[in-house]
Structure 1
């Protein structure tokens, strides 16, 4: 419904059908829609970093599940297979992989708690959201390092 009076000329300054700037795209249904802003438009901030890292952590956990299945398979195939797997994953490179999986799990957990807080309607102001994001990042690092410090201190893992 138009607010223009009958017979008044329509304002076509925002009409995207004749757009020459490339700011609009024609959808399959024929409607012109504005293009979404790109990274050049947005200022990178902590919550953006947290979101990207949460998605990367989920991907890392998916890859990490392959190592977990390999561990189960090695146990199922007998003592020799398990010893080979333990030797590989107990090497410095293997321990780095396990630490990465631990860090991904810890961050995915803390980011999940952050999202629960946001879903409850709390800490939604930009300053509070940024603080909560940094807390989830640092909290995950403390959890992962603390977990591995306990493993090394108790002798469960050695180099």
Structure 2
């Protein structure tokens, strides 16, 4: 006969037990940025198709990406790309068996946040400076 569980506790760790930690939030954000990149690739496909269809359609798509809203979407896509890439490098480091100390894990999470933000800003500033539109 099967045993019955009479405790009112969850059978496995649950969100009600854990308090949010930086590494937990980084895992969630890594998944969100991955999904965002998946849908963001549609923008790249749209841009490439517009270039293949006609000059007028390409100009329309370029105008969309040149608008403040389009730039905001591209800025967010850039941040998601850098954040996801740095998170992937962090996981690659862990796959080699390194970086499992508690202070190292916390440092890597903070570095991922800082470098993704600074890298996005630096990339956009660099592009604007090279184009001479800043």
The normalised TM-score by structure 1 is 0.77
Pairing 1:78–2:44 present: no
Higher Cα Rg: structure 1 or 2?
1
Following superposition, the deviation at residue 19 of structure 1 comes to 2.1
Match of 1:113 in 2: 89
Pairing 1:135–2:114 present: no
Match of 1:21 in 2: 7
Match of 1:87 in 2: 63
Residue 87 of structure 1 aligns to a residue whose secondary structure is: helix
Q: Deviations over 1:77-107 (max 9, x none)?
A: 1110001101111100000101111111101
Query: Structure with the greater relative contact order (CA < 8 A, sep ≥ 6): 1 or 2?
Result: 2
Give the Cα separation in 2 of the matches to 1:126 and 1:39.
21
Give the Cα separation in 2 of the matches to 1:45 and 1:130.
10
Structure 1 outlier segments of 4+, above 6 Å? none
Match of 1:146 in 2: 122
Match of 1:68 in 2: 44
Give the Cα separation in 2 of the matches to 1:147 and 1:121.
31
The normalised TM-score by structure 2 is 0.91
RMSD of aligned Cα (Å): 1.8
Residue 131 of structure 2 aligns to a residue whose secondary structure is: coil
Instruction: Give structure 2 stretches of 5+ with no counterpart.
Output: none
State how 1:50-61 maps to structure 2 within 5 Å.
50-61=26-37
Q: Deviations over 1:15-53 (max 9, x none)?
A: x823233446xxxxxxxxxx2211111121111111111
Give the Cα separation in 2 of the matches to 1:83 and 1:48.
43
